[in-house]
Amino acid sequence: MPLKRIGILTGGGDCSGLNAVIRAITLSAIRNHNLSVIGIEKGFEGLIFNHSQELTPRSVRDILPQGGTILGTSNKGDPFAFKELHKDGSITTHDYSARAVQTFSDLKLDCLFVIGGDGSLQIAYKLSEMGLPIIAVPKTIDNDLEGTDYSFGFHTAVQVATDAIDRLQTTGRSHDRVMILEVMGRSAGWIALEAGIAGGAHVILVPEIPFDFGLVTAKIRERQAMQAPFSLVVVAEGAMEKDCRPITQEAATTRLQGVPQLGGIGNHLATRLGRDIDLEVRCTVLGHIQRGGTPIAFDRVLGTQLGSFALHSALKGRFGTMVALRTPDLKLVPLKELAGRVRQVPLDSQLIRTAESVGICLGR
């Protein structure tokens, strides 16, 4: 059946490049095929509660360099397990998947483009199993999605982290301090590893390699002995010491997400190092600065490519798939092969070998 009316939603955390995808799908659909384009607002919550807007060439005209998403997003709107927080502090969980499917029908959509990370892809797969024609587009700064070489948003996050490292280098060297930078990535160390290599870090700690604290202090003392007391440590939020668990933050907002909020390893490491070495130690937590702001050229181009290819694939009826970068080509990957899988840095990765070959300590 030919497409007449398509929907787009952005799920999970925001990242740079989302608007490039929205723009590419919208312009390709309207200019080349005269389709109607409906933007679902606030992620899957909009699909549950029927919040939407029509997208036009005018509404996407100036959004290419903008961070975030013009449609809004949410990481608390799983239609299969929607959690509602009540005034008394209690939480109830509801299965609103049938309501989401009904909204799709009420909006008279012929297909739905889901732009999101691993959580959104799991939801997309479940909805496709219920009969919705869906094509997914990989989005995450963490770069932890199977099936694609890169997800858009990752390179911008790496560039932001690298810029921060460059600034910490100069102030750390001026004061002979140990500077710690904590970056995002959840259970994958891609941001920490690439930004750390790019910024000339001396220690990089990633979730894939539980670190030996003694080796970290030994690296810093080795630099002191070489008359180079300044050291720079890049640590991923999900990194952990041997025989320990990742450090998590307890906050009310995490109760609705259903997943632990990582963070705090940087300050924990600073406290430990401050007791063991005779140097000042400072920690910077980059946090959501990595998510916001103008996307770099790579993510604008990749987002535009993925959006255009997603529409092209939908016109061919290739539903139940995710568009993926398999350098230098774009491919389709079945959602059933991706749902629930997280791509971590392989321990035999060339990136890891590169880091250690130039003297970077990975805590092992």
Handedness of CA 16, 186, 218, 172 (dihedral sign): positive
Helix and strand tally (H, E) in the chain?
A: 11, 15
Task: Say what percent of the chain tops pLDDT 90.
Answer: 75
Residue 154 backbone zone (phi > 0: left; psi -120 to 50: alpha; other: beta): alpha
> Are residues 79 and 100 in contact, defined by beta-carbon separation less than 8 angstroms?
yes
Residue 251 pLDDT greater than 50, yes or no: no
CATH of range 5-152+295-327; options 3.20.20.120, 3.40.50.300, 3.30.70.2860, 3.40.50.450: 3.40.50.450
pLDDT tens across 24-44, in order? 999 999 999 999 999 999 999
Residue 253 pLDDT greater than 50, yes or no: no
Res 259: pLDDT: 63
Distances (CA, A) of 214 to 46, 178, 183, 202, 234: 50, 16, 22, 15, 16
> Is 177 annotated as belonging to a binding site?
yes
Mean pLDDT within 356-362? 95
pLDDT tens across 188-199, in order? 999 999 999 999
> Is 117 annotated as belonging to a binding site?
yes
| Domain range list for the chain | 5-152+295-327, 157-290+346-357
> Are residues 303 and 17 in contact, defined by beta-carbon separation less than 8 angstroms?
yes
Rg (C-alpha) for the chain, rounded Å, is 22
> Is 5 annotated as belonging to a binding site?
no
Residue 243 pLDDT greater than 80, yes or no: no
State how far the Cα of 89 lies from the Cα of 157, in Å rounded to an integer: 35
CATH topology of domain 157-290+346-357: Rossmann fold (3.40.50)
pTM for this prediction: 0.92
> Is 291 annotated as belonging to a binding site?
yes
Residues labelled as active-site residues? 142
Closest CA to 311 of 61, 101, 55: 55
Res 298: pLDDT: 96
Do 5-152+295-327 and 157-290+346-357 fold alike per CATH?
A: yes
> Is 147 annotated as belonging to a binding site?
no
Residue 205 pLDDT greater than 50, yes or no: yes
Task: Measure CA of the first residue to CA of the last residue in the chain; give whole Å.
Answer: 56
> Is 348 annotated as belonging to a binding site?
no
